[in-house]
Each structure stands twice: as structure tokens, then as C-alpha cells.
Amino acid sequence: MVVLSGFLANSLTYGVLRSLGILFEDLVEAFDASAAQVSWVTAIALATEQFASPIGTAASMRFGARPVVVAGGLLSFLGILGASFSTSLLQLYLTLGFLTGCGWALAFAPVMGTLARYFSSRRSLAMGLALTGNGLSSFALSPLLRLLAESLAWRGALLVTSALSLHLVVCGALLRPLVLRGDQLEPGSLFDWGLFTQRGFGAFSFGTALLAAGYFTPYVHLEPYGRVLGLDPYKAATLVSVAALSDALARLLAGCFADRRLILPARLLVLLNSLTGCSLLLLPLAASYVDSLVLALLYGVSAGSFATVAFGVLPEIVGVARVVNATGLCLMAMSVGGLLGPPLSGFLRDITGNFTVSFLVGGAFVLSASLVFLALPTFFTGCRGCGGSGATARAKGEPKALMVPGTGSPLASVPLTSKCSEI
């Protein structure tokens, strides 16, 4: 159920965000705006989601993930619903950008942090299964939004999307609290800023901030780029769908591969991130529909695999007991790059008339992150206590779920009355 919750959270946050690029040209025309101005919509949504993620994780540590994720689902629904009635770009920034981003911040990070606490030996596989929601929803939503935009206009497409986003409430309801050895019994620091003093987490968060400036560029501009190549709107939308489907399959396969530990996770992280950057650099070379499909496929495979491995590496750097707060803080660091990337690529498209420079700059940002990831302590030594021969051993001191004697059940899953005796 927790993996299903993670799947839904990915589908209805980043899956929706990636698909909004399908409406890019419609919004440019509707508001008579430049590409850079419209790019700020997704940039604000992404940056808000990531920057406010520590608030979501801190609230989930204090009040539990379930009510926080439910609140996030309601906020995202209201944000996208309000965007469908927007009459100016400012209103679109506030609704689809800020309000929806706040809802996603309360939903995504708490779910992924909770999921990491539930698994140890097969954590990467669990993360991969959950993260496939990102790609599968993008694959389905891209042609759907194009169809809705053609029949109901962009406002109708956003109305349908808002109804889908309300299912984040169900996602929150699926989360069951879990108590682990090593958890603080008394509330401590809400945000755990001390994580930034760790070399490993500092390098990881700085690297993800750099890659965020280019990582999302294709999902904002791939469909418009297809139109520049002379493709009809539906063929251009299939570029996003192909990238999304390959992304989803790669996330699942990468989770299986990472759990086998044939390559140290940190080294695999650098390799996949480098492939992602190279695929961005190659995108401007596409001269036909087939070329575009191949490069979109390459980007989806490398970017999707990277995401799974990244979420698997983070618990090894900070430990499972601190992974929820670490997820929020890492996403906050990514917000810097997320806020810069889409508007910068849109600005470069406005002044050059094409997307060549946009993809080249995005690829350069992603490749620079690979250099930073080389500073991860686990790049040379692997995780704490990992066994050899491809076996995955539990990290030394990794928290286990507290079990109730005689029940075989985790402490959090047993009703309070069954743990007490009448006086």
C-alpha cells in the first residue's frame, strides 16, 4: 500500500508537472506572452514544490504523513482548478504556480520519505516501482491533454487535471504510520539543518541543485521543439510520451539493478547523470521525427534511471532515521535550479528563435552536477556495512521497525488498546 501511495504521489505531482508542457503553446497564444513569461508558470510550481518540501517533511514528522498528504492533495486541486479560470499570467503564477506547488510540497516529499523508511534490502526496487508513476502518468497525460486542449481548450484540460489531482487525498489515506528504532520520542528540530554540515549530504544537495537547472528542460520544451521541427501537434506530443514511457520502465529496471550492487550506487549515480546530460546535448542534433524519438527515448532512459538511484543513495548518506527531513531539504536545494532552468531556457529560445542553446545550457548544468557527485563519500567506499558479491546488507545501525511481542506486527500497526492492559 505504501508503494502504491508513492506511485500515485509521483503520478499526480511530477507526472502532471511534466505534462503541462503540452499546453505551453496554447498558453503563449491565449495570454499573448513570450516563451520566457509562460515558462515561469512551471518554474514557480517546481520551485515552490521543492523549496517548501522541508515544511511538508517537518509537518509529517510532527503530525504524521497521512494528514499532511491529504492537505496537499486538497491544495493542489484548488490550485489547478483556480488556474482554469485565470484571466492573466499573474493569476496563473499564483494558482498553477504557487498554490499548486504548495500542495505538491505537502504531498510528494512526505510520501517518498515515508517509503524509504519502510524498506531496507529492496529499497531501490521499492523506489523504482513508486517512481514509475512519474513516467507512466506523463505517457498517458501527454496525448490526453493534447486531446482535451483540442476539444475543450486549455481551460477544460486544466479542469480535468484538477479532478485527477484530488486523488492525492487517496494517496495520503494509504500511508500507515511506522515507528523505527532510533526515532526521536520527543519532537526535535523541525528541519534538521545539521544535515548540511555533513560532507556527503552537502555534495548531494548541491549537485541536485545544479542538475535541476537542466533536468526538466525537455519536459517543458520537448513538445514545442517538435513543432519547430515541423511536426503536427499530436506527433510532437508523442515525443513527450515516448520520453515518459521509457523513463517509467527505466526507473523500475534501475531499481532492480541497483539492488544487486554490481556497481556502487554513488558511481552508478554519476554514470546515469552523465548520460542524462549527454542526451540533452544531443537533442538539438535531431533533424527528423525518428531522430527526435530516438533522442527522447535516450533522455527518458537515463533521466528515469538516475531518479531511482538518487532516492536510493540518499538514505545511505544520511541514515534512514533522518531520510524524511533529508528528502525535504534536498528538494529545497533543487528549487534553486528548478526556478532558474525553465525561464532561462525560454529566454534563450526567445532571443535565438530555436531551442538549440536551451538544450545545450541545460545539458551543461546536468554534467556539472556529475563533477560534484564525485565528492560523495560513498563514491569510493560504498554504503556503510554493504556486503560484497552483489549482496545487499543492511547498513550498520539501520533502524528496524519496533515489533510488539507476541503479535509479529509493527508497533504502529497495532491498536493502542492491544498494547495496554487494564489497571
Which pLDDT tens digit goes with each residue over 67-104? 999 999 999 999 999 999 999 999 999 999 999 999 99
- pLDDT in the model for residue 163: 93
* 422 inside domain: no
Q: C-alpha angle 211/217/285, rounded to 5°?
A: 105
Q: Indicate whether 209 belongs to any domain.
A: yes
Residue-wise DSSP of 178-190: --BTT--SS---S
User: For 184-214, how does the pLDDT look when each residue is reduced to its tens digit (9 = 90+)?
Assistant: 545 555 667 777 777 788 888 899 889 888 8
pLDDT score for 416: 41
Q: How many CB atoms lie within 10 A of CB 317?
A: 26
Mean pLDDT of 393-406: 43
Res 409: pLDDT: 43
User: Is 330 part of a structural domain of the chain?
Assistant: yes
| 353 backbone dihedrals φ, ψ, rounded to 5° | 85, 0
Can you give the pLDDT at residue 393?
38
Q: Which of 147-151, 169-173, 399-403 has the highest mean pLDDT?
A: 147-151
**CB neighbourhood size of 290 (10 A):** 9
Q: Can you read off the three cell numbers belonging to residue 374?
A: 564525485
Whether 138 is covered by a domain: the verdict is yes
Burial tier of 360 (Cβ tally within 10 Å: 0-12, 13-18, 19+): middle
pTM greater than the 0.75 cutoff: no
Query: Does residue 421 belong to any structural domain of this protein?
Result: no
For the stretch 365-383, pLDDT in tens is 999 999 998 888 867 665 4
Structural domain includes residue 405:
no
Q: Is the dihedral of CA 180, 185, 189, 195 positive or negative?
A: negative
Reported confidence tier of residue 340, pLDDT bands at 50, 70, 90: confident
C-alpha span between 284 and 368 (Å, rounded): 19
CATH number of the domain within which 233 lies? 1.20.1250.20
Residue 175 identity (one-letter amino acid): L
Torsion angle of C-alpha atoms 37, 248, 234, 223, degrees rounded to 10: 30
For residues 221 and 122, the answer to whether their CB atoms sit within 8 Å is no
The answer to whether residues 390 and 401 touch, using CB atoms and an 8 Å cutoff, is: no
Confidence of residue 419 (pLDDT cuts 50, 70, 90): very low
Per the model's pLDDT, the better-predicted residue between 147 and 123 turns out to be: 147
Mean model confidence pLDDT for the chain? 79
In this predicted structure, the answer to whether residue 396 has a pLDDT above a threshold of 50 is no
Separation of CA 238 from chain center: 21
Judge whether 364 lies within some domain. yes
Least confident stretch, 61-75, 133-147, 248-262, 385-399: 385-399
pLDDT digits (tens, 9 = 90+) for 212-252: 888 878 877 888 888 888 888 778 888 888 888 888 888 87
Range of the domain at 154: 2-178+195-381
Please state the domain count of the chain. 1
Selection from 34, 35, 155, 113 nearest residue 320 by Cα? 113
Give the three cell numbers for residue 379.
563514491
Q: Which of 340, 255, 250 is nearest to 300 (CA)?
A: 250
Question: Which residue in the block uniquely carries the three cell numbers 549527454?
Answer: 278
Compute the radius of gyration of the chain from its Cα atoms. 21
Closest CA to 362 of 222, 240, 213: 213
The secondary element (H helix, E strand) that includes residue 36 is helix 35-51
**pLDDT score of 85:** 94
The confidence band for 181, taking pLDDT boundaries of 50, 70 and 90, is low
Question: Which region among 21-30, 261-270, 329-338 has the lowest average model confidence (pLDDT)?
Answer: 329-338
Is 332 within 8 Å of 50 (Cβ atoms)? yes
Does the residue 406 lie in any domain? no
The closest of 359, 402, 324, 248 to 55, measured between CA atoms, is 324
Give the pLDDT confidence of 103-123 residue by residue, as tens digits: 999 988 888 877 777 766 676
- Predicted confidence (pLDDT) at residue 391 exceeds the cutoff of 70: no
**DSSP letters along 318-374, please?**
H-GGGHHHHHHHHHHHHHHHHHHHHHHHHHHHHHHSSSHHHHHHHHHHHHHHHHHHT
